[in-house]
Chain A
């Protein structure tokens, strides 16, 4: 029963859920019921689905008619293709679990707006499609849909700052979307193909890249930088994180990192023979790491601080991928998974603090450890986790990134990774001290706020971080096998 025909359901089901909750807007009880059931079903679908390829409309791979189409490859896909393997499964399960947490927190906070929940489901469907799509145009369509959904989630805060952040995001999104589509158009003009597997084969068969294809790579790389929140678009992305509700920020940073991974793999697969691409990726990643960590150290607002830490960590993921070896790419993807878990805990802690104190300014809150000891303990552990301290998960991935950098002949990048870890630790532990240990607080805690849902979720997440840290091969090995098989 559960076979690869369930693959498109991972995109279609959240879309149907989005339509339903949008239709039932203001009918709070119905929205709540549908949202809870749908989000749980969304987690179950990727777990039950078997690995495979889904051909939309049943279009099978067919002859390319080289005498007419001038294609150098013998056969091509004639329709949209979704591919589902171990890497996709890991990313989708992680994505859906985090979406469940965010939906539960939103419902718990009486944010039961049909439109708001619909936007969460649309963003889930978009990222699922980006992970699954083997078709460049489908990829582009869902990147654009994701941009609109993410902007809508930030707009929902209903503050002018959030409107400004969303507007900036949309404007830059139109530049990035235009770049990606122009790149796709140029590739279509040169190779007549949109399927990533076919494009990769055609480019390999065609030998050296034509100048127009190089222009296409540059344009798509601009889109990659924007969608991943890397330098020089890091400010736009961090603005989005800091102006969203903290739990939504946790979801946004997860989505950005998943898109970063999916898009990087797509680029590396298609242009695997073009080594300059990896150097460009590495260059921008280094800039992002440096800028992200320096900016994080300067912040006095917890949400802003975490936003820049998230950006810096995205740079670290891109660095692993940009190093370009199977080992480093796997380590980069592994770090993306570890990092989104740790960052999510920190954003949820920020959400708890915001709900309890109505502010996240670190200089206004103090002595919180006596009032909310569990949250303080989990924040401390999450700080250790994100800084790469054993036995937590990020230690395993950062160690692998450092090892791969040394193996690739860039030992200095290993030093940069250690410096980033130290900077991250200093930035967050400073905020931790000010919020939880510094005597005296100008902000009063809301005595009615219990935050049981927040506490449960952060405890579950820190347990996941510890589990991955102790048993890294459960996650890392499937990723490494996929990357070796892809030959990127």
Chain B
């Protein structure tokens, strides 16, 4: 495992644990939302760590491979085998991009709900909101 990957996985672990801790232990609605976001970010970091390859080509921006190409005839093309050996694994990055989009939509709904609850009860404390709801 590369040092970058070790660092990424450790950071991801810290983010996920901190996120869970915030969701379960924090009383503030916004802190819970931030915690939920931390969990998503930690998982994204795990995916980035999985896809990392030291010195690897970035498949999306490097010249395409050609099934029958040999470097001498197409100097800017790589043979498939060569390309596949050098390229980073692109799938995790696609997953991270998708997860960022999903995370943003989930986050926006949670924040909107927090705003609604704040307007109703004038507090972000979960305990106080629960108490007020029981009184209602």
Residue ranges of A at the interface with B (Cβ–Cβ < 8 Å): 65, 68-69, 137, 141, 144-145, 147-148, 151-152, 155, 160-161, 163-164, 166-167, 170-171, 173-175, 177-178, 181-182, 184-186, 188-189, 192, 194
- Complex Cα spacing A208 to B89, Å: 25
Known: A68-B84, A163-B116. A170 touches B106 (CB 8 A): yes
Minimum CB distance partner of A193 in chain B: B91
The interface centre, meaning the residue of B29, B89, B99 with most chain A CB atoms within 10 A of its CB, is B99
Minimum CB distance partner of B95 in chain A: A137
Contact mask for chain B residues 93-107; partner A; CB cutoff 8 A; 1 contact, 0 none: 001001100100110
B129 within 8 A of A: yes
- Complex Cα spacing A152 to B116, Å: 13
- Complex Cα spacing A283 to B109, Å: 34
Minimum CB distance partner of B87 in chain A: A68
Q: Are A178 and B109 in contact (CB under 8 A)?
A: no
Report B-chain residues with C-beta under 8 Å of the C-beta of A184: 95
Report B-chain residues with C-beta under 8 Å of the C-beta of A151: 109
Q: Are A178 and B43 in contact (CB under 8 A)?
A: yes
Known: A163-B113, A182-B46. A175 touches B106 (CB 8 A): no
Minimum CB distance partner of A192 in chain B: B89
Q: Are A170 and B23 in contact (CB under 8 A)?
A: no
State how many angstroms separate the Cβ of A223 from the closest Cβ of chain B. Answer: 12
The interface centre, meaning the residue of A151, A171, A174 with most chain B CB atoms within 10 A of its CB, is A174
Report B-chain residues with C-beta under 8 Å of the C-beta of A194: 91
- Complex Cα spacing A181 to B102, Å: 12
Q: Are B46 and A174 in contact (CB under 8 A)?
A: no
Known: A65-B84, A160-B133. A185 touches B113 (CB 8 A): no
Q: Are B50 and A189 in contact (CB under 8 A)?
A: yes
- Complex Cα spacing A170 to B110, Å: 7
State how many angstroms separate the Cβ of B78 from the closest Cβ of chain A. Answer: 13
State how many angstroms separate the Cβ of B18 from the closest Cβ of chain A. Answer: 12
Q: Are A167 and B40 in contact (CB under 8 A)?
A: no
Q: Are B46 and A164 in contact (CB under 8 A)?
A: no
- Complex Cα spacing A188 to B99, Å: 15
State how many angstroms separate the Cβ of A361 from the closest Cβ of chain B. Answer: 16
Report B-chain residues with C-beta under 8 Å of the C-beta of A164: 117, 129, 133
Q: Which of B16, B106, B110 contacts A182 (CB 8 A)?
A: B16
- Complex Cα spacing A148 to B82, Å: 43
Q: Are A173 and B46 in contact (CB under 8 A)?
A: no
Report B-chain residues with C-beta under 8 Å of the C-beta of A177: 40, 102, 106
Q: Are A148 and B105 in contact (CB under 8 A)?
A: yes
Q: Are A175 and B136 in contact (CB under 8 A)?
A: no
- List 17 additional A-B contacts (Cβ < 8 Å) besides A148-B109, A178-B16: A69-B84, A141-B98, A148-B106, A167-B113, A170-B106, A171-B23, A171-B32, A174-B110, A175-B23, A175-B39, A178-B36, A178-B40, A181-B40, A181-B43, A181-B99, A185-B50, A192-B89
State how many angstroms separate the Cβ of B4 from the closest Cβ of chain A. Answer: 15
Report A-chain residues with C-beta under 8 Å of the C-beta of B102: 141, 144-145, 177
Q: Are B23 and A185 in contact (CB under 8 A)?
A: no
- Complex Cα spacing A152 to B20, Å: 24
- Complex Cα spacing A178 to B19, Å: 10
Q: Are A160 and B136 in contact (CB under 8 A)?
A: yes
7 chain-A/chain-B pairs, Cβ below 8 angstroms: A65-B84, A148-B105, A174-B36, A177-B106, A181-B99, A182-B16, A182-B43
Q: Are A175 and B36 in contact (CB under 8 A)?
A: yes
- Complex Cα spacing A127 to B120, Å: 33
State how many angstroms separate the Cβ of B50 from the closest Cβ of chain A. Answer: 4
How many residues of chain B are within 8 Å of chain A by beta carbon?
38
B92 within 8 A of A: yes
Known: A68-B81, A155-B113, A185-B50. A174 touches B106 (CB 8 A): yes
The interface centre, meaning the residue of A151, A184, A188 with most chain B CB atoms within 10 A of its CB, is A188
Residues B38-55 near A (CB distance < 8 A): 39-40, 42-43, 46-47, 50
Q: Which of A68, A160, A161, A167 contacts B114 (CB 8 A)?
A: A167
Minimum CB distance partner of B89 in chain A: A192
Q: Are A175 and B113 in contact (CB under 8 A)?
A: no
Report B-chain residues with C-beta under 8 Å of the C-beta of A65: 81, 84
- Complex Cα spacing A175 to B99, Å: 14
State how many angstroms separate the Cβ of B88 from the closest Cβ of chain A. Answer: 13
Q: Are B16 and A185 in contact (CB under 8 A)?
A: no
Report A-chain residues with C-beta under 8 Å of the C-beta of B29: 167
Minimum CB distance partner of A178 in chain B: B39
B85 within 8 A of A: yes
Residues B41-79 near A (CB distance < 8 A): 42-43, 46-47, 50
Report A-chain residues with C-beta under 8 Å of the C-beta of B136: 160
Report B-chain residues with C-beta under 8 Å of the C-beta of A141: 98, 102
Q: Are A171 and B110 in contact (CB under 8 A)?
A: yes
Minimum CB distance partner of B20 in chain A: A175
Report A-chain residues with C-beta under 8 Å of the C-beta of B110: 167, 170-171, 174
- Complex Cα spacing A145 to B98, Å: 12
Minimum CB distance partner of A158 in chain B: B116
- Complex Cα spacing A185 to B46, Å: 7
Minimum CB distance partner of A173 in chain B: B106
Report A-chain residues with C-beta under 8 Å of the C-beta of B113: 155, 163, 166-167, 170
Q: Which of A69, A170, A185 contacts B109 (CB 8 A)?
A: A170
- Complex Cα spacing A189 to B1, Å: 12
State how many angstroms separate the Cβ of B21 from the closest Cβ of chain A. Answer: 12
- Complex Cα spacing A145 to B101, Å: 11
- Complex Cα spacing A188 to B50, Å: 8
- Complex Cα spacing A8 to B114, Å: 36
Minimum CB distance partner of B46 in chain A: A185
Minimum CB distance partner of A138 in chain B: B98
The interface centre, meaning the residue of A152, A155, A189 with most chain B CB atoms within 10 A of its CB, is A189
